[in-house]
Every structure is written in C-alpha cells, then in structure tokens.
Amino acid sequence: MSEECPRGDLEFGTIPGMVRRVAETYGDALAIVDADTRISFRDFSARVDQAAKAYMAAGIQKGDRVAIWAPNMWEWMVVAVGAHAAGAVVVPVNTRYKGIEAAFLLKKSGAKILLTVQGFLGNDYVALLASSGEALPALEKTVILRGDAAEGVETLATFLARAESVSDADAAARLASVSPDDLADVLFTSGTTGEPKGAMCTHAQDLRTFRAWSHIAGLRPGDRYLVVMPFFHSFGYKAGWLSALMNGCTTYPEPVFSVDVALQRTQEHAITVLPGPPALYQSILMHPKRGDFDISSLRLAVTGAASIPVELIERMRDELKFDTVITAYGLTESTGCVTMCRQGDAPKTIAETSGRAMPDVEVRIVDADNRPLPPNEPGEIVLRGYNVMVGYFEAEAQTREAIDADGWLHTGDVGMLDEAGNIRITDRMKDMFIVGGFNAYPAEIENTLLRMPGVGEVAVIGVPDERLGEVGMAFVVPAPGASITADAILAWSRENMANFKVPRTARVVDSLPRNPTGKVQKFKLREALDA
C-alpha cells in the first residue's frame, strides 16, 4: 500500500493561492516574527497583494524573472510571494556571493528587478554588483529591502507605494492567470562545468513536495519554526518558510546562525522546530552554557544527507530532548527533496541513511550502463517523479544530460539502497564537497580562480576540516612568466568569492598531474597530501 500524503498542489494550486487560503484559515495568528516585526497570516497576505501590484506597476509580466539577494528576513518572503502573485519567477541569490558571481546569475536569468539590502555582513551589494563590470541589459530596477538607498535605486517603501496605480481588478486578473504548472522559481546550482545552472520548478512541484515533506516530518499548526538555513537555498526557502506558511506555523527568520542567538531565541519564543546541518546540533551540544537556556520546547529536527554519528542522533534525543529527528536527501534539481527517514525510525537508520523515497517518487541505483543494481550495491542515484525539475533554464543540452529519455534524473551522487529502501550516500561523482553546510563545486571555484592575473592552471580539491567538515585546497600553476604566491591566491579569492568557496590553503606547483587525455588526476593530488 502506498504512503498517503496531502497533495499541496491540489489543495492550494499556486503559492499565492496557498497564502490566501492560510490567511483565511489562521487569520490573526502569527505568520512571522522578525525582531520587533510581527506579521499575521492575514497581514502577510495583504502585504503580498501590495507587492504584486508594485511589480505590475514596474512593468513585470508573467514569466519575468525577479532576483532576491538578501538574508533571511520578512521582506524576502513578501517580495517572493508578491512576485509569484504577479506571475513572475523568483531567482534567489546567495548572500555570500561577490559581485562577479551575482552578476553571472542576474545576466544568465535575465532578471528585470533585483531586490537586495545594504550593510548585511558589512557588504554594499549595489557596489559589489557594480564592481563586477558586467553589463546587465535586462536589469531595469534595483530595490533596497533594508538599508540606505543609493542613487539610482529605490527603497522598498517607494517601490510598494507604486502599488496604488494598479487596480484590484487588474491584480486579481493577473493572479487568476497564474497556474500550478507555471514556473515559481529558478535556483542556480553548480556542477562539473563550473558554470551555475538554473533548476526550474513550478508552483505545483514546490507545493506538492513540501506538503509531503511537512507531513512526513510532522509540522503542526502553531509550531514555531526558527529558520537558520538561508532563504536562497531550498532548505531555507522551501523546507523553511514556505513549509511553515502552508502548515500554519510561525516563521522566525535568522539571518546569521549563532549558537548563542539560537539558544536565546529558542528560550524566548519557545521554538519547536529547528532544522539544519549536523554541525548546528553538534555546536549546540558543545556550547558551554547550553544548560543556562531553557530549550525544552524543541521537538522536531530535520538534517541533511551528510554522514552523522549514531551518537549524535541519540544525544539530540536524550540531551536536547527532540521528540523527532529525521534525516533527508535532496538536491536542487529534485525540488529539494528525494528521500526522508520516517518518525519512529531507529537512531542507526537515521544516522547512517537518508531514509526512503517520498511518496510517488522512484529511486534507483544504476551501474555505468544505466542498469538497476540490487540492494547494497553502490552505483549512481537516479530518481523519477513529480519532483524532478522542469529542466535547466535556457540550457536544453544540459537538461538532456541530466534527465534521460525515460524521465530519470541522474544525480551524479553515488549511493546504495538497503532491503528496506533506505538510501545511503557513499560518494559524489561530481567532486562536490560540503563546507559548513554549503555545497562547494571545484569546477566553479577553478573557473573563478582562472580570472586571477598570473594564474595559468588550477585544480581544487576538498580536504577534511575539523570545524567545517571539508574546505577547499587550490593547486595553482602560474601563467608563463608570472610570479604568484599562495598568500596572494588566498587574498584574491577572499575578494572575489563567497567565503565558503574560498580555498583555505593554496599550493603553487610547476604542473598538475594529468592522464593521457589531459584530465587532471585529482586523486594524485590527494595522494601527495597523504604521503
């Protein structure tokens, strides 16, 4: 018998449709608590309607892309769903990105409006973008969500004021034109090419996937959800505030994770739901003053596919008193979720696997010839179902490489299934490594480093790090006639890359080991470190 889950796509239709429905259901209950700002479900829906009109006044048409380059905050949620209600497609941008990286996404997506902030982590995002030197012909407007607006940009208040020029009837007609199968978002992810690709997902996919995710995890109306994962990531956006909204939970956005702040907010607001990477829970357990805080309200933890010690799961239950601890596996191309453990699974299952396939999602392990493998045999993880992305944005060839003729998404991850269908992730074919919960792709880092004057060739590998799990290490061959130092490489990287991508060490070498076809043999770089 198949597992029954509510169908969010059938229940709500579209994301703004969901917001209207929950406004009717939960009314004056709190939807968001962000510092001193408290927003009810009814008020949130009204703010979304205003934002939708503002987009329409700015000339946004159905299918246009709107980029959001900002930390976790209530404004992010309003302008995202407002864009959806205007028929636009949301393009989240990593707040750790530097100007070159953000400019690439804006140019690639053809975003017409950028909504950003000033001052987060000391950054002037408008200046960062300008410093890229990249022409962005599609970008018509920049709006500052928080912070001072420089010349040529406008504040959120000014942007929203333009809503008055759009009638209720026109706004209602636009909303009515948005269908469940319309694109809701394009989330960019990198891969072996080094060039980020935009995974396209629809309203129906987002709603169905995360209504099921919420059901399996056990989200309840009235839950208080501290969202520490970034909104630009599907974990913070779709498994975060979107899931909270559709289940009548209160979202507490947290722009930068701090153990002290998380403990304080948990005590102050009686937080019940706290998903995050394994390192988050480890840092709470290790905090010397944990006992000074009352965190007894916590009941639900959901963490990612990284390998987790069984002891950590047991300590989360025994010492942090979580009623439910669940691990899951997903990727951007799968709308964010593929498999999940279930409530009541044994600690060993939760720690050593990422659970079983979501309802109506098929998962297989295949060999190099795409033939299914039996249980406990490692191979590539492939999946098929409603959650497989529509494709990569304006990248048909790459889409065909990722999704075969039978609809199977080839993840590039290596794993195995046990007899019960639980998946164990064993390796990454794509060479990706995870830095403190952020996916880092060597090819992307290498492509950026090749822009540095004096760099001829470069190879990046992930190396173990006690605090962050893994970090990057760069091997650089200077360009002919150039002189370059490891310190200079690291300094340039810090100026031009998001912090999680920045190699922590660099080594200047005469050459890189290559096979007869010219491919860099990264295993030899690793062997040299171990020698």
Q: Do strands 505-508 and 469-478 pair parallel, antiparallel, or not at all (unpaired)?
A: parallel
The per-residue pLDDT for 2 is: 57
Stretch 181-203: mean pLDDT, rounded?
Answer: 88
CATH of the domain at 84: 3.40.50.980
**Ranges 63-72, 186-195, 285-294, 335-344: which has the least confidence:** 186-195
Local structure of residue 438 (DSSP, 8 states): E
The per-residue pLDDT for 427 is: 63
Stretch 285-299: mean pLDDT, rounded?
Answer: 93
Sign of CA dihedral 82, 88, 92, 97: negative
The answer to whether residue 394 is domain-embedded is yes
The answer to whether residue 223 is domain-embedded is no
Three-class SS state of 98: coil
DSSP output for 111-173: -SEEEEEBSGGG-BHHHHHHHT----TT--EEEEEES---TT-EEHHHHHHGGGGS-HHHHHH
Residue 96 Cα distances to 46, 138, 232, 303, angstroms: 31, 23, 10, 22
Tell me which residue of 77, 76, 79, 68 sits closest to 106, measured CA to CA.
68
What is the chain's mean pLDDT, rounded?
93
pLDDT digits (tens, 9 = 90+) for 241-256: 999 999 999 999 999 9
Q: 438 and 422: one domain? A: no
Tokens, residue 365 = 């392990």
Of 500 and 282, the one with more pLDDT: 500
DSSP output for 242-272: IHHHHTTPEEEE-SS--HHHHHHHHHHHT--
pLDDT digits (tens, 9 = 90+) for 199-208: 999 999 999 9
1: pLDDT strictly greater than 50: no
pLDDT digits (tens, 9 = 90+) for 398-446: 999 999 999 999 998 888 999 999 999 876 666 778 898 888 888 789 8
Q: 264 and 323: one domain? A: yes
For residue 510, give every residue at least 6 positions away whose Cβ sits within 8 Å of its Cβ, in sequence order, or none: 477
What is the separation, in whole angstroms, between the first and last Cα of the chain?
Answer: 53
Using 50, 70 and 90 to split pLDDT, how confident is the model at 526?
confident
The answer to whether residue 237 is domain-embedded is no
Q: 451 and 418: one domain? A: no
The answer to whether residue 326 is domain-embedded is yes
Number of Cβ within 10 Å of residue 521's Cβ equals 13
Residue-range definition of the domain harbouring residue 380: 257-428
Tokens, residue 25 = 């259901």
pLDDT digits (tens, 9 = 90+) for 340-392: 999 989 998 998 899 999 999 999 999 989 999 999 998 899 999 999 999 99
The answer to whether residue 514 is domain-embedded is yes
The answer to whether residue 497 is domain-embedded is yes
Q: 440 and 407: one domain? A: no
517: pLDDT strictly greater than 60: no
pLDDT digits (tens, 9 = 90+) for 91-140: 999 998 999 999 999 999 999 999 999 999 899 999 999 999 999 999 99
Report the domain count for the chain: 3
The answer to whether residue 183 is domain-embedded is yes
**Chain centre distance of CA 339:** 16
Q: 391 and 439: one domain? A: no
Q: 380 and 481: one domain? A: no
Tell me which residue of 337, 301, 93 sits closest to 207, measured CA to CA.
337
Q: Is the pTM of this model over 0.75?
A: yes
Using 50, 70 and 90 to split pLDDT, how confident is the model at 141?
very high
197: pLDDT strictly greater than 50: yes
Q: 174 and 46: one domain? A: yes
The per-residue pLDDT for 305 is: 55
Q: Which of 161, 178, 201 is the last residue of a domain?
A: 201
176: pLDDT strictly greater than 70: yes
Number of Cβ within 10 Å of residue 199's Cβ equals 26
The residue written with tokens 């974990």 in the block is: 235
Q: 182 and 152: one domain? A: yes
Q: 395 and 438: one domain? A: no
Stretch 150-165: mean pLDDT, rounded?
Answer: 94
- Distance in angstroms (rounded) separating the CA atoms of residues 86 and 48: 10
Q: Which of 406, 428, 450 is the last residue of a domain?
A: 428
Q: 411 and 447: one domain? A: no
Give the rounded percent of residues in the chain with a pLDDT score beyond 90.
Answer: 77
Of 192 and 72, the one with more pLDDT: 72
Q: Which of 175, 201, 227 is the last residue of a domain?
A: 201
Stretch 458-474: mean pLDDT, rounded?
Answer: 91
pLDDT digits (tens, 9 = 90+) for 50-71: 999 999 999 999 999 999 999 9
Q: 52 and 179: one domain? A: yes
The answer to whether residue 28 is domain-embedded is no
Q: 101 and 123: one domain? A: yes
CATH of the domain at 370: 3.40.50.12780
Tokens, residue 119 = 């001052």
